[in-house]
Amino acid sequence: MESKFQSSKAIKFPALSFNAGWLNAVDSMNRMTRSSKQGLKKELYKGTVLVDSGGNRFRVVGAEKVRTLVDGFGSLIGLLTGNPSLQIELTISSTGEVSLEEVKDLISDSFKKKEDYWEEMTSFEDFRDTIAAASSLEQVFAAFKRFHLL
């Protein structure tokens, strides 16, 4: 499943996504095609900022349901409780390039906003310091790999 792009630029994976203070590493396009009914209905995807390893910045502006996914017992829980997993097609818009400092600020912002979540990472301080010390975008992504977030 491909996403629709409102620019000629394609995302160069891996990438980082920032959504309502949550920071998630995205390893492939496959991860960008799965959502939930609740997420689609409340448009929780809107405003997601993506920063790819090529230094490009994107924004998710729309999503459409392709089909309902039923893969395993876990997905039945969602189906029975009104929040099934969906295969979706995102509309992504390119918003230019991003600097290393901007990426670091976005990451740091997530560390602050979701402190309880990040604190549950066993070597969080090391990870935070590595990000802070990174001198290039490659080093930022390398830190995510080293700490097994990618």
Interaction between residue 59 and another protein (CB under 8 A): no
Calculate ∠ Cα 120-137-146, nearest 5°: 40
Q: Which is nearer to another protein, 48 or 137 (CB)?
A: 48
Determine which residue in the list 6, 19, 53, 91 makes contact with another protein, applying CB under 8 A: 19
Q: Closest distance between another protein and the C-beta of residue 61, in Å?
A: 12
Q: Which is nearer to another protein, 43 or 105 (CB)?
A: 43
Torsion, Cα of 16, 18, 19, 23 (10° steps): 80
Q: Which residue has the tokens 């920032």?
A: 18
Q: Please classify residue 12 by burial: count the beta carbons closer than 10 Å to its beta carbon, then call 0-12 exposed, 13-18 middle and 19+ buried.
A: exposed
Interaction between residue 45 and another protein (CB under 8 A): yes
Spatial distance between the Cα atoms of 24 and 31, rounded to a whole number of angstroms: 11
Binding site for another protein (CB under 8 A): 14, 17, 19-22, 24-27, 31-36, 38-40, 42-46, 48, 50, 60, 63, 74, 77-78, 80-83, 85, 88, 90, 114-117, 119-124, 126-127, 146-150
